[in-house]
Structure 1
């Protein structure tokens, strides 16, 4: 990555930060018609989860300085918003919980926050609301230190998502491997043929989803009455090495067996090391390789097989 590219991306992030900070600042300014600061509202919100917490857990979850949080909690205690009691497992720790008065103080703040956000969303069309929420989820996932905490579910693609899979995979392989638009054309042909002609008893497609966003996919198609092939297998870069690829391939294996296939195949390039390792872990063996000019490059394409 060149210095100019890095600077352009940094400036784009800074631009977004300025916009979002200004937007949230205006939102909070309208909401804070109360004796509570924004940080106090955040702490009250964390305590509404119902389970008593320690001060250290609150500081960690909210990213607050422990000394500042201690003074804030002392103020809450004076106002009878919280109670503290010794932990049954560690007498050195105090468990903090909201009192009825604390819940009563937070409820109108929470209702006002919800109403304000609803007012923002109501200015948008329904499809734009979903687009905004999806973008927020992607930002949260990419910036999170622990994306693996979200549950991964496999489901069938919804309308519009087949085209998104073509777009996303073409973009990723262009960025990561400099593959040209012919790869996008191949993906589009695979999807077009599948969506128009596939036999749902013998062929299927899954997307892996976490918190409402797609993080991977796999498509299984029939080659013959006994052989099936995996295509469109990909995992989002920040979600790799979390077992999602294995989960998708295992589901392909189970489906292929139920459909009566006796062999499962897939193709990959020798330059795609993670794909090759996934094949090996899933019990596939390399059955052949040949040099080909594909996607603007001289590649060696391998065919991997597994008996079912």
Structure 2
């Protein structure tokens, strides 16, 4: 029973910290968005296109309570639901522009609240506090089977350069052996996108805060979109990230009222081609490419009619 001493110490800390967080939450999260609703808004923001079931499992919220929250958010135009094209029983959740503004206000209020909480603490003590928090997080993460935190979010300043880096690193590796000209091709397209991304968007996938993949939609015409820069670090395949990226991009296309979306890939990218087939893209064109590597590549165009 020697462990009882540690158990009591942990419970004592839990009581103290729960009371402290309760006071903070009361100051930061108030009507019309108490803590639980703020957490749901945050979850929809970071897991753009997630389902209610995924939110329930991740946050541990009662199904009925969550259903009422989602209904209220939909009524107040904070979020929208998109029916899955694969499973008519499933709906993906997205924040509206109004919802994104609410999320940004919540973040600002939370940052302000925490800043007020620590303003009278010395820098040395804050460093010790944060280090202790990171230690607690690390210990429990390493000693449990908690799944890595995966999020899909629109790009922020600095992300586009990292997306170019990711393409260069992966495709010039021994696995693919693309030449340096391919990285130039990617960077040129991303630069053009930064100058004008009207009708488009770029998302990055993060695992525990590290960018591991990306996808983008660019406007080809008023009715046609192009899917571009779909990439995923091979170390993170099998986690459903590629699927989430594709669904995020296609959801955006439907939201923007595009009738058609197409993409270009190469025949050797089997994992990506498998996903394109899964989401009903059809191979429509092939052409040789001798610019990106020493051996001949076959570029492929895949198309999807969004009106069906």
**TM-score of the superposition, structure 2-length normalised?**
0.55
* Equivalent residue number for residue 166 of structure 1: 164
Q: Secondary structure of 2:155's match?
A: coil
1:99 pairs with 2:97:
no
Q: Which runs of 5+ in 1 are unaligned?
A: 1-73, 83-97, 108-114, 123-132
Q: Secondary structure of 2:300's match?
A: strand
1:151-180: CA deviations, max 9, x gaps? 322211221111011011111111120001
Change in CA separation of 1:302 and 1:99 when aligned onto 2, cut-off 3 Å: same
- Report 1 or 2 for greater relative contact order, CA contacts < 8 Å, sequence distance ≥ 6: 2
* Equivalent residue number for residue 299 of structure 1: 297
Q: Secondary structure of 1:99's match?
A: helix
* Equivalent residue number for residue 127 of structure 2: 118
1:77-119: CA deviations, max 9, x gaps? 4xxx05xxxxxxxxxxxxxxx1259847xx9xxxxxxx79937
Count residues in correspondence: 193
1:232 pairs with 2:229:
yes
Counterpart Cα distance in 2 of 1:158 and 1:144: 33
Q: Which runs of 5+ in 2 are unaligned?
A: 17-123
Q: Secondary structure of 2:217's match?
A: strand
Instruction: Find the partner of 1:283 among 257, 280, 302.
Output: 280
Change in CA separation of 1:179 and 1:101 when aligned onto 2, cut-off 3 Å: closer
4+ runs deviating over 4 angstroms: 100-104, 143-147
Q: How does 1:50-61 map to 2 (within 5 A)?
A: none
Q: Tell me how far 1:145 sits from its aligned partner.
A: 11
1:75 pairs with 2:73:
no
Change in CA separation of 1:117 and 1:183 when aligned onto 2, cut-off 3 Å: farther
Q: Secondary structure of 2:2's match?
A: helix
Change in CA separation of 1:146 and 1:194 when aligned onto 2, cut-off 3 Å: farther
Instruction: Find the partner of 1:204 among 194, 201, 208.
Output: 201
Change in CA separation of 1:76 and 1:270 when aligned onto 2, cut-off 3 Å: same
Q: Tell me how far 1:144 sits from its aligned partner.
A: 11
Counterpart Cα distance in 2 of 1:145 and 1:237: 24
Q: Tell me how far 1:203 sits from its aligned partner.
A: 0.5
* Equivalent residue number for residue 53 of structure 2: none
Q: How does 1:1-308 map to 2 (within 5 A)?
A: 74-77=1-4, 81-82=5-6, 98-100=7-9, 103=12, 118=127, 149-175=147-173, 176-199=175-198, 202-296=199-293, 297-308=295-306
Change in CA separation of 1:75 and 1:239 when aligned onto 2, cut-off 3 Å: same
Q: Tell me how far 1:225 sits from its aligned partner.
A: 1.7
1:5-32: CA deviations, max 9, x gaps? xxxxxxxxxxxxxxxxxxxxxxxxxxxx
* Equivalent residue number for residue 31 of structure 1: none
Q: Tell me how far 1:150 sits from its aligned partner.
A: 2.1
Counterpart Cα distance in 1 of 2:274 and 2:9: 56
Q: Secondary structure of 2:172's match?
A: helix
1:110-148: CA deviations, max 9, x gaps? xxxxx79937x99xxxxxxxxxx9xxx9xxx9x99979x
Larger Rg: 1
Change in CA separation of 1:257 and 1:269 when aligned onto 2, cut-off 3 Å: same
* Equivalent residue number for residue 57 of structure 1: none
1:42-100: CA deviations, max 9, x gaps? xxxxxxxxxxxxxxxxxxxxxxxxxxxxxxxx4334xxx05xxxxxxxxxxxxxxx125
Q: Tell me how far 1:190 sits from its aligned partner.
A: 1.0
Counterpart Cα distance in 2 of 1:146 and 1:235: 23
